[in-house]
Amino acid sequence: MTQAVRHDAMRARNLALVLGEVGAREPVTRAALSEITGLTKTTVSKLVADLIEAGLVVETGAVRDGERGRPGVAVRISGEHVAAAGLEINVDYLAVRVVDLSRSVRLRRTQAVDNRSARPGDVAARLRDMALTAVDEAVENGLRVVGGVVAVPGPVDLSTGTLHNAPNLGWRDVPVPSLLELPFPVRVENEANLAALGELWFGPGPSDFLHVSGEIGVGAGLVVGGRLFRGTHGFAGELGHVVVSPDGPACRCGGNGCLEQYAGRDALLSAAGPTGRPTAAAGPAGRPTEYTRATGSHPTAGGMASLASLVSRLEAGDTGALAACERAGWALGVALSSAINLVDPGTIVLGGIYAPLFPWLGDVVAGTLASRLGRMRATVPPVVVSRLGSEAAALGAAGQVIQRVIADPAASLQA
């Protein structure tokens, strides 16, 4: 059930409503906000004044849009005070992103590390260092980091932040927030879910889609009506173990013929045949390389090297590589057709390793969907590529903090 509504809750909701509309249509004048929300001009003015005082909103000066009458003073979300940290623990790298309230990315740090062999405490310490230097830099720019979210490759208990198990890291029941000990509240969430939210808040697309995160495993995050669907225990979106063929190759989950056995990173690479740089010969784990990049595909650490070589073989027209992609695309299409029948997403967004492979996968996936769904549905969901690639999860993590502030400005208005 919902909570009781007192006067303070009424005000809190209206603050959230106004701030949300500012974010959705900035720059907007108070008059326009009054018309959009249905609140009176008086009320909107008072709410906006509070938001300005809290540093969440700023005036951008008068707007003269050729209309008659006194010009309004537009406001927009302020990116100058409040910021959020998006952290990511992945198999091959650690990442930190600092995003301000206006969703501008203020800082990017990625460190290539092979975390497969590492202990949770050591990884957390390294990520903590990265986060703290990032926070320092943010503070120098006048920003206050009000919270952080950590993206991890496995299911999470949302209330405690415990990572239940991450098979590709070899971790079990890791209490991530207490290991990090950061000077702001930290939540933890599955990377596939966060990648979907990253696509929602930082991508160009719609607000109804299934985002597929191709990594070693294959995860998916479903966003409907701008909200993430988590399922009963928060384990929804395990696309990697959807059945492609019930008598297919055995999977580590105990089943047979799961999608992961056809389109997971390792399955894809080994199906493509021998490659120049095999997975085992990945870079040294001890000495991480630090660097910053603007956008595009991710660094070559661990098996990533093989992915890069797979792409170059595909570009060269290598038949083995092409066949492997075709098979993976077909399997993805089969699994996605089940997913579409079950959860009815508006669009399919292919991310993770499928982003760089999209030129060789996309059409096969779309074709498989069309042949399996076309006769039932008036429209088959379009298959598009993620523009964020592997940055999606860390951005989604930061975005989740931003979203909380925007959804409940009254809470952060006191602090």
Partner DNA sequence: CCGAATTAGTCTATGTTATGGACTAAATAT
Partner DNA sequence: ATATTTAGTCCATAACATAGACTAATTCGG
- Which residues of the chain form contacts with DNA (CB under 7 A)? 4-8, 10-11, 14, 29-32, 38-43, 45-47, 49, 62, 64, 66-74
Q: Give me the least distance between CB of 272 and a copy of itself, in Å please.
A: 21
Confirm or reject binding of residue 293 to a copy of itself (CB under 8 A): no
- Of 251 and 301, which has the nearer Cβ to a copy of itself? 251
Q: Give me the least distance between CB of 210 and a copy of itself, in Å please.
A: 9
Q: Give me the least distance between CB of 13 and a copy of itself, in Å please.
A: 5
- Of 74 and 366, which has the nearer Cβ to DNA? 74
The 227-229 sheet, strands edge to edge: 227-229, 218-224, 209-214, 348-352, 383-385
Beta strand 171-175 pairing with 162-166: antiparallel
- Of 279 and 338, which has the nearer Cβ to a copy of itself? 338
**Residues 79-108, mask of contacts with a copy of itself (x by CB under 8 A):** ------------------------------
SS3 28: strand
Q: Give me the least distance between CB of 147 and DNA, in Å please.
A: 24
Pick from DNA, a copy of itself, none: which does 8 bind, CB < 5 to 8 A by kind?
Answer: DNA
Place of tokens 């006194």: 70
| Rounded distance between C-alpha atoms, residue 271 and residue 17, angstroms | 51
- Of 46 and 128, which has the nearer Cβ to DNA? 46
Choose, by CB under 8 A, the member of 2, 292, 319, 414 that binds a copy of itself: 2
At residue 222, what is the residue type? Answer: L
Beta strand 209-214 pairing with 348-352: parallel
Q: How many residues bind a copy of itself (CB under 8 A)?
A: 67
Q: Give the other-Cβ count within 10 Å of 6's Cβ.
A: 9
- Of 43 and 338, which has the nearer Cβ to DNA? 43
- Of 185 and 231, which has the nearer Cβ to a copy of itself? 231
DSSP state, 142? T
Q: Is the dihedral of CA 265, 270, 275, 280 positive or negative?
A: positive
| Segment interacting with a copy of itself, rule: CB under 8 A, options 36-44, 177-185, 195-203, 386-394 | 36-44
Pick from DNA, a copy of itself, none: which does 21 bind, CB < 5 to 8 A by kind?
Answer: a copy of itself
**Residues 148-177, mask of contacts with a copy of itself (x by CB under 8 A):** ----------------x-------------
Alpha carbon of residue 361 to chain centroid: 21
Confirm or reject binding of residue 244 to a copy of itself (CB under 8 A): yes
Choose, by CB under 8 A, the member of 182, 263, 334, 405 that binds a copy of itself: 334
Alpha carbon of residue 108 to chain centroid: 15
At a CB cut-off of 8 Å and minimum separation 6, what does 361 contact?
325, 328, 329, 332, 350, 354
Confirm or reject binding of residue 322 to a copy of itself (CB under 8 A): no
Q: Is the peptide bond before 27 cis (omega within 30 degrees of 0)?
A: yes
- Of 69 and 254, which has the nearer Cβ to DNA? 69
Is there a contact between 197 and 228 (Cβ–Cβ < 8 Å)?
A: yes
Q: Is the dihedral of CA 207, 212, 215, 216 positive or negative?
A: positive
At a CB cut-off of 8 Å and minimum separation 6, what does 219 contact?
190, 191, 192, 193, 195, 212, 213, 237, 238, 239, 240
Pick from DNA, a copy of itself, none: which does 385 bind, CB < 5 to 8 A by kind?
Answer: none
- Of 110 and 368, which has the nearer Cβ to a copy of itself? 368
| Segment interacting with a copy of itself, rule: CB under 8 A, options 106-114, 120-128, 221-229, 358-366 | 221-229
Confirm or reject binding of residue 346 to a copy of itself (CB under 8 A): yes
Pick from a copy of itself, DNA, none: which does 411 bind, CB < 5 to 8 A by kind?
Answer: none
- Of 47 and 242, which has the nearer Cβ to DNA? 47
Is there a contact between 303 and 266 (Cβ–Cβ < 8 Å)?
A: yes
Cα–Cα–Cα angle for 114, 117, 119, rounded to 5 degrees: 105
Tokens of 23: 């974010």
Beta strand 156-157 pairing with 162-166: antiparallel
Under the phi-then-psi rule, with left for phi > 0, alpha for psi from -120 to 50, and beta for the rest, what region is 175?
A: beta
Confirm or reject binding of residue 410 to a copy of itself (CB under 8 A): no
- Of 117 and 371, which has the nearer Cβ to a copy of itself? 371
Query: Distance between terminal CA atoms of the chain?
Result: 28
Q: Which residues bind a copy of itself (CB under 8 A)?
A: 1-7, 9-10, 13-14, 16-17, 20-21, 24, 37-39, 164, 208, 220, 224-225, 229-247, 252-256, 334-335, 337-339, 341-346, 371-378
